[in-house]
Structure formats: structure tokens, C-alpha cells
Structure 1
Amino acid sequence: MATLELHSIVKRFKDNTVLDDVSLAVDDGEILVLFGPSGAGKTVLLRLIAGVLDADAGRIVIDGEDMTGVDAEFRGVGMAFQNFALFPHMDAFANIATPLEARKTPRDAVRAGVESVARLLKIDHVLTHRPRALSNGQKQRTALARALVGSPPVLLLDDPLRNVDAKLRFEMRLELPRLLADRGATVIYVTQDYKEAMALGDRIAVMGQAGIRQIGTPEEIYLQPAGLDIARLFGDPTINLLDVRPSRDGQGIHVALSGTRVELPAAMEPSVGRACVAGLRPETLHFVKAGTKGAVPVTIEAETPLNEKTVTLARTRGGREILVSRPAGTPGPDHGEAFLAVDAGSVLMFDKASGERIAAGGPAAPRKRATA
């Protein structure tokens, strides 16, 4: 295993700054997920760590050693590229074996290592096939197997399940953490799938324009997103965002939703009198009976069953849409007028102008690149 540190990394392509002053640290054996939209610089960051690209500024330190000027083959890094990068003239076995062959590993050990990782990734039946005879999912797993087989201390995985079918993708989400733990590597894992990020990451680094917007555990990212941009990326169905202006009177802090007073906790004091956006996760809203204190009146527009849950589209008296999610089989209205209870403790409040979350009990969090 190894530690990995990035110090003030900058990367430009002509006039386009892709990464600007990016810093982070990954602990021994940790799985850090890089998550963000396409074009955020995730793959570029991996290529810089691997030594395929050179940074314009900053330092990359692996296990205490500065990698500036160190060629890719001497960095102790394994990488599964997004575009597979398989040798077309070699079969899957030979492609996977290349890191071991480069070390002049004995033939029996090469075969044992390749067959072991191939079984784990369910491609042992196609080891004699060349890349042109493999499906995209098999190519992706072959590239992943090649990265894993040498047990490198640092492992870089660039969206390795992107081309895998839904069933296998779900299985691999369950199996990969164990597989990676067994290998003992320090891992940076890139994905655009928030469920994958939540399932695999010890921590998640959310990337935005030219840098890292927030780093935290999956729970911290979901429950305490640094801004609206991050809140929108996590959750299915997506978070409800409603313009509000919190007020305070003798009874406490509140907002008006659908003409109804909704109480907020005292910790929301920093939001009082400000133009804000309230974030309501669909699963924190619940249907209640008419007359329930604080119940918000809505009109049911549509209902969609989605296997494990049912999603309801409702509309407030002011015409604003609200999504409500409840476990499948849970009773709830499917038409006409209904009433919602809002879990005040789960309301997220964002400054409307900056988009930053207003931290309970303190001022709005400043917009800055996260470090860890």
C-alpha cells in the first residue's frame, strides 16, 4: 500500500485550464472516488498521477516520494484506462499478463495470477479471445484485470464499469470493495454514477469546474452538500429546490410553502431574511392526513412505481412541482388533493445568489476548492 498526495496541481491545454490548484491526500488502502460531470477533469487528473501527462505546476507525491520527472513505469501505479487500451494482436490472457511479464515473473506465477483475477472478474472463459472478439464489457474487465494483476500499491480506475451490463454492474459494485481490499492498494476510482460513488468510496471528491468542490464521506456529501450543484448530482429522484425567504417571529423560524407555515430549527438562524433555496429530499417528505399541524397542501399530478419505491409528482398551490418518494407498497394518495409533512431537520438551505449551502448555526460556506 502507499499514500498519495497532490499539491496545488495545475494543468492547462493551450488557453483552457482543466485543473487549477488541486490538492488532496489519499490514505494507505483508501478508496477515493472522483465524481463529477463529463469534462470536469477526472481522467486528466488520473493521467497526471500515472505519469502519462505532466502537470504545469504542483507536485505529486507517492509514499513520500516526489514523482516530478519520474517516468510512468517507475511510479508503481496501475491504471485501467477509460478507452481500454488493449493490444489488438494479443489475446485477453496476454493483455492481462503484461505487467507480470514486464517484471519477468515466472511463467507458472503469471498463469496463476492471470487466471485468479480473471475468475474474480468473470472473464476466465474468454482468455484466449483477442479484443475484437470481446464485448465492450469484457474489454473493460480485461483492462481492469490488467491493472489489478500486478497488485500495484496505487491503483487508478477510470470508470471501469461504464460498459458493463446492468446485472454485472450491480454485482461488481458489491464485489469490487472486497477485491480491492484484498489487493491492498490505495485506489482512486472515477465514475459519473452517483450510486457507484456512494457504494464504493470511503470518501468522495466531487469535481467541478477546474477543481474539487467538496471532499467527504458518502454520508457527508449526501446530507451536507457544499452547494446546489453538488446537491443536484446526488439522489434519485433529484432533490426538490424551492425559492424561500425564511422569517422569524415570536414562535420561531419558518418559511411558507403552499400557503402553509413550515417550522425550521433554530439552527437555521443564518438564513433569516435572505433569499434562499430550500432543498427537500423526496424521501424526507411524507403524506399525512388533512388537519395535521404544518401539513402542506398539494395536488397529485402523477405517480410512478419504480420497483423498490413509488415516486409521486405533486404541485403546490403556487404551482411549484414537488417529488415525493416512498417505499413500494406503502399506502399513499395517487390523485386529487393531498397533504405533506416536511421533516424540518432534513431541510437544506442554500444562498440563492451564490448557490452555497448555508451551514446551520454559521454563515454561508465560502466557495473554495476542497483539500484533504
Structure 2
Amino acid sequence: MPELRIENLTKRFKNETVLDGVSFTVAEGETTILFGPSGAGKTVLLRCIAGAVDPEEGRITIGGNDISDVPPEHRGIGMAFQNFALFPHMTAFDNIASPLTARRWSREKIQEGVEQVAKLLKIGHVLSHPPRALSNGQKQRTALARALAASPEILLLDDPLRNVDAKLRFEMRLELPRLLADQGATVIYVTQDYKEAMALGDRIAVLSGGRIAQIGTPEDIYRRPASVEIARHFGDPTINLLDVVPEKDGGGVFTRLSDQRVPLDSGLEAAVGRDCVLGLRPEALRFSDSPDGIPVEIEAETPFNEKTVTLVVTARKREILISRPAGTAAPGSGTARIEVDATDALLFDRATQERIAPQHRGGGKSEAAA
């Protein structure tokens, strides 16, 4: 399967720049998640790649071949967009079969291809129905089935699970990676759901302000977010963000919460004395019996199916969320103490909102650059 490369892609609508020099590569057979808030330009980028929209600048190459001026129908790209784009005069079967019919597949092969993908997406019972008789979820799955049926080398999926019910969405998060791997397609998958991004992507490209703000593996994005904005987007409950000024003494680099010492990575010495934001994931905090723990007051506790989230308040009235597995023993009210491992703490520059990566001896970073 070919590599897809986007180089300095720029798209404007009147005076608004929607895409501003976007560049990234999707390796052969890789699924890259394009993640970002509504209005970030994700769908516009897909339409540029598909040929439905012409960019003002930049190049798009597939397998090293520039396709920027190639008509959409000759790009060999499979697409499934949010607006379904189903042919209203055709049944669901014929909609799914349309790319196969265009390739002049045999009737038997078309029947087999359509039924196979329809079974996976659980729409076999509506194949004889026209689009007007389908629910939004069924329309979404029909559009996805049409994109998958011809096993294209490049596949563009624009939030294809947005309109399906929660149960099927969960099932498809498990099934889609296997299906895409079996097809071997090079995939760009758009979503605003961070759980979907983490579950489906080999890599995640975060689009913000018309630019790629960060690209990396799901672990990179979650554990080493490039900015406060990206850190907020990934995680439920959301990350705790607290204004701090790091210090240093003979014991190393640290900061304070409720006047208690919170150790930081020794490579963060350059942040000492600077206005920073401390990022603490709720699951990285835990209740502690240690007298050195951070004193807090428990405000509320909310049980979920797989976890329990506790809201606590520090001595300086700063709110912190703590997440623990359901059934784990912990105080439910009154005063308590909490602690955090230095390896789980993130530090951001308060002015730029960018993450400060630890630096160790020799000038090297202690981790992959985000």
C-alpha cells in the first residue's frame, strides 16, 4: 500500500485561512487519526486530499506521485464523509456496490463484497432499503461500507461512527482496527472523540488553528502533550492544571501544593523560578496515609461503571480531581492526604502554554520530543 504525504497544504475561504501550511506523512498501511475540535479544518483537509476542494498551496503525493492536479475519480481514494452523500435513487446495496460496479466487477463478486462488509457493519437487513428509509446511523454505516467495499489503497474516513448508537460504536472501535489491518489501506480517520483516537490510531495528528500542533503515537500524545490545549483534549476526567513556580534544593526540583513538597523530574531544572502550570492526570493521583502527603478536603465523590472520581480541595482552595478503579477503598468524606509520582507530572510554561520537556546531562531530552 502506498505512502500518503501532505506538504505545506494551505486553504483559504475568502479572508479566512482554514489550513495553514499543513504537512505530515501517513506511512504505508498506517492509520493516522486526524484529531481536533469542531472547525479546526479536518474535513476541509480530507476534501483537499480527495480532490473535492482545491488548495491554494501545497502538494499531495501518493506513493511518491503528485496527485494535486489529478481528478478525484482517478485518485484511487475511498471516502466516507459525515454528510453520507448517498445516492437517493439507489438502495443501500447499490450504494455500497457503486464503486465495484464502476470497476466492472462480476455480479457474483459484487454480491460477495457487499454482503461481507454489510455483515461487519450490521446493515445486512436494510440492503434493499433506499436512503430515505434508513436511520442516520444506518446511513452512516452504508457510507462507510461503500468506502470499504472496494478495498481502496487510500481511505479517508470523516468521523464515520458519529451517528451510530453507543453499543455499535464500542463494537466498531474493536472491529475497525482489524478490518483496516486486513485491508492494508493507508488511512486518515477524523474524530473529535479522544477515546476513539486512542483506540484506532497508529498515530494521532492534532489539528489546531489550521496547523498540525503535534503528531505522535497515542502514548506520546497522552503522556507527553505538546501544550496545555492538547493535554485538556485527552483524558476523562480532564487533567488537573495548577499554577506553580518550581523550586530546587539539595533534594532536587520540586513544587508545592498545600505547602507540601511535590517532587518533579530532575531534568526540569531550567523551569525553576518560572511561572508554570503543573499538569496532573486524575488517575496519576492517589490517596495516601503518609504524613508527607498533600492535605486536602474531600468535596464530592462520583461513581462510574469502571472508576470512581473524587473532587478534593487543597488548603489554598484549588480543586483537584482524583480517579481510581471502581471498588478501590478510599476515604469518601472529610480530610485526607494525596500523593503523586514525579514521573506522572507534566509541566507547562504559563506564558506560552507549551510543555517543558525534561533535560538531562549532556543536553539531551529524557524523552522523545513532542
Whether 1:220 aligns to 2:216 is: no
1:280 alignment partner in structure 2: 280
Tell me the distance in 2 between the aligned counterparts of 1:84 and 1:265.
49
Secondary structure, in 3 states, of the residue corresponding to 2:108? helix
Whether 1:344 aligns to 2:342 is: yes
TM-score, normalized by length of structure 1? Answer: 0.96
1:298 alignment partner in structure 2: 296
Contact 1:232 1:238 in 2 (8 A): yes
1:323 alignment partner in structure 2: 321
Q: How far did residue 251 of structure 1 move? A: 2.5
Secondary structure, in 3 states, of the residue corresponding to 1:114? helix
Amino acid at match of 1:289: D
Secondary structure, in 3 states, of the residue corresponding to 2:176? helix
Whether 1:239 aligns to 2:239 is: yes
1:23 alignment partner in structure 2: 23
Equivalent residue for 1:311, pick from 294, 309, 312: 309
TM-score, normalized by length of structure 2? Answer: 0.96
Superposed CA deviations along residues 226-264 of structure 1, whole A, max 9, x for unmatched, are 000000000000000000000112232111101212222
Q: How far did residue 265 of structure 1 move? A: 2.6
Amino acid at match of 2:48: L
Whether 1:187 aligns to 2:187 is: yes
Secondary structure, in 3 states, of the residue corresponding to 1:253? strand
Q: How far did residue 64 of structure 1 move? A: 1.3
Tell me the distance in 2 between the aligned counterparts of 1:330 and 1:116.
44
Amino acid at match of 1:188: I
1:102 alignment partner in structure 2: 102
Tell me the distance in 2 between the aligned counterparts of 1:61 and 1:261.
52
Q: How far did residue 132 of structure 1 move? A: 1.1
Q: How far did residue 290 of structure 1 move? A: 5.0
Secondary structure, in 3 states, of the residue corresponding to 2:139? helix
1:52 alignment partner in structure 2: 52
1:229 alignment partner in structure 2: 229
1:357 alignment partner in structure 2: 355
Amino acid at match of 1:58: G
Amino acid at match of 1:30: E
Tell me the distance in 2 between the aligned counterparts of 1:245 and 1:253.
11
Secondary structure, in 3 states, of the residue corresponding to 1:195? helix
Structure 2 spans left out of the alignment, 5+ residues: none
Secondary structure, in 3 states, of the residue corresponding to 1:155? strand
> Which structure 2 residues correspond to residues 165-180 of structure 1 after superposition, within 5 A?
165-180=165-180
Tell me the distance in 1 between the aligned counterparts of 2:308 and 2:259.
26
Amino acid at match of 1:312: T
Contact 1:88 1:132 in 2 (8 A): yes
Tell me the distance in 2 between the aligned counterparts of 1:93 and 1:252.
66
Q: How far did residue 40 of structure 1 move? A: 0.5
Superposed CA deviations along residues 17-55 of structure 1, whole A, max 9, x for unmatched, are 000111111111000000010011100010000000111
Contact 1:315 1:321 in 2 (8 A): yes
Tell me the distance in 2 between the aligned counterparts of 1:91 and 1:196.
30
Amino acid at match of 1:54: D
1:121 alignment partner in structure 2: 121
Tell me the distance in 2 between the aligned counterparts of 1:126 and 1:158.
22
Tell me the distance in 1 between the aligned counterparts of 2:338 and 2:209.
37
Superposition misfits of 4+ residues, deviation over 6 angstroms: none
1:64 alignment partner in structure 2: 64
Tell me the distance in 1 between the aligned counterparts of 2:169 and 2:114.
21
Tell me the distance in 2 between the aligned counterparts of 1:290 and 1:341.
9
Amino acid at match of 1:324: I
Amino acid at match of 2:130: R
Tell me the distance in 2 between the aligned counterparts of 1:145 and 1:39.
26
Secondary structure, in 3 states, of the residue corresponding to 2:97? helix
Tell me the distance in 2 between the aligned counterparts of 1:252 and 1:212.
35
Number of matched residues?
363
Amino acid at match of 2:126: V
Superposed CA deviations along residues 111-143 of structure 1, whole A, max 9, x for unmatched, are 111111101111111100111111111100000
Contact 1:290 1:338 in 2 (8 A): no
1:248 alignment partner in structure 2: 248
Superposed CA deviations along residues 317-367 of structure 1, whole A, max 9, x for unmatched, are 10000000000000011111010011111100000000000011179x9xx
Amino acid at match of 1:353: A
1:154 alignment partner in structure 2: 154
Tell me the distance in 2 between the aligned counterparts of 1:265 and 1:210.
33
Contact 1:33 1:190 in 2 (8 A): yes
Superposed CA deviations along residues 260-299 of structure 1, whole A, max 9, x for unmatched, are 12222311212111000000000010101152x3x00000
Q: How far did residue 109 of structure 1 move? A: 1.1
Superposed CA deviations along residues 85-128 of structure 1, whole A, max 9, x for unmatched, are 01111110010011011112111111111111101111111100
Amino acid at match of 1:200: L
1:5 alignment partner in structure 2: 5
Superposed CA deviations along residues 199-221 of structure 1, whole A, max 9, x for unmatched, are 00000001100111000000000
Secondary structure, in 3 states, of the residue corresponding to 1:349? strand
1:332 alignment partner in structure 2: 330
